[in-house]
Amino acid sequence: MSENPQAFVNPASGSIRLTGEVNFVDAEGNLIESIESPKLCGCGLSKDKPRCDGSHKEYVKLFADVLRNARELVKPCMAFSPMAKKARDIRENELAYRLEAGETMVGVKVGGALDSPNSAEPTSVMIFGYLTNAMQLTDSIKTANYIYPRAEAEVVFKISKEISAEIHPSEVLDYVSHVAAGIEVFDYRYGQAQIYAEDAIADNAGAAAFVHSHWVAVHEANLENLTAQVFANETELETAPLTAIRGNPWLAVALLSKVLVENGAKLPAGSIVFSGSATKGLHLAAGNNYAVEIKGLGRVELKAI
Ligand code: FES
């Protein structure tokens, strides 16, 4: 390689352009060939490695396909970690598949993940995944249709006004008409929860299924003082104050608005928002009856079959 080599990593494709004449050598250092300003593959998909052969263009679609078709014990994305922009593109691609199949986007779920496996002090960041009408349950869930379904107790908001800009916490009530108690079922295609943001975003934040109680008008709800309980076969397994949701569940809507704006996304009026969990994820096993109760808000039940 020349004395002052330069490397340009294309943030969109992942390809790496080196400048100058680059010697490719084998493990013993024997020269294989010299190439002037080669473009190398950084996405891992090239069929002509180490060169970039343009396969990165298929990246988004390929990983959206892989995630869509993943099944338990099939973990095609273990070393995945797409860049943030790619992760978002993959999520949008997955949504597009669902819309093409006739589903309708009905809202979003809020989730959390760590910013980076490479960071010395990883911080938690808010992510979101799209919910569609096909994910809505009535009173039962067929666990065989999922990989590792887990349920969380959440507050559900019905949005009364399009969210297209950042909302100040003091404005949240202007954007919410109703609230309900909900069970959010998340099911990461990797089989286990992905704790890092890029993988989690690419997998639509694990959004898989949901059910919620009757809507309660927002002026009748005092969420800050309520507690969520999770039951399995009528035995209480978990209880947590709703303040476990970002210190104040209303804040979830304000924080979500910021993330939506950063992602160039809007949420139409009439959408629903699952707040993020007050409790730990509970693995759903066939044969059990589950319930989430938020006294003063509602109770919702789910039979795992
Ligand atoms: S970066 Fe182009 S094929 Fe991998």
DSSP 168: P
In angstroms, rounded to a whole number, what is the distance separating the alpha carbons of residues 116 and 125? 10
Distance from residue 55's CA to the centre of ligand 1 (Å): 5
Our count of domains for the chain comes to 2
- Residue 257's pLDDT is 96
**Neighbour count for residue 185 (Cβ, 10 Å):** 26
Cα 80 to Cα 40, 70, 77, 114, distances in angstroms: 18, 14, 5, 15
Lowest mean pLDDT among 83-97, 121-135, 137-151, 252-266: 83-97
Average pLDDT value over all residues in the chain: 87
Range of the domain at 46: 7-53
Answer whether residue 239 is part of any domain. yes
* Residue in this structure with the two tokens 């100040």, named with its chain if needed: 168
Other C-beta atoms closer than 10 Å to the C-beta of 57 total 12
Domain end position, chosen among 17, 34, 53:
53
Q: Tell me the average pLDDT across 144-170.
A: 93
8 A C-beta contact, residue 207 and residue 149:
no
Atom of ligand 1 nearest to the CA of 44: 4
The answer, yes or no, to whether any atom of ligand 1 lies below 6 A from the CB of 46, is: yes
Mean pLDDT of 90-95: 89
Beta-sheet strands, E only, within 43-166: 105-114, 124-132, 140-141, 150-159
pLDDT of 83: 65
Look at the alpha carbons of 42, 43, 46, 52 in this order and tell me if their dihedral is positive or negative. Answer: negative
Residue 77 binned pLDDT confidence (cut-offs 50, 70, 90) = very low
157 and 21 both lie in a single domain:
no
Three-state DSSP at 88 gives helix
Q: What's the CATH number where 267 sits?
A: 3.90.850.10
CA–CA dist 41, 35 (Å, integer): 15
Distance from Cα 264 to the centre of ligand 1, integer Å:
26
Task: Identify whether residues 46 and 101 lie together within a single domain.
Answer: no
Mean pLDDT (whole number) for 22-48: 89
Write down the pLDDT at residue 225. 85
Best of 45, 49, 51, 62 to mutate for ligand 1, by most ligand atoms within 8 A of CB? Answer: 45
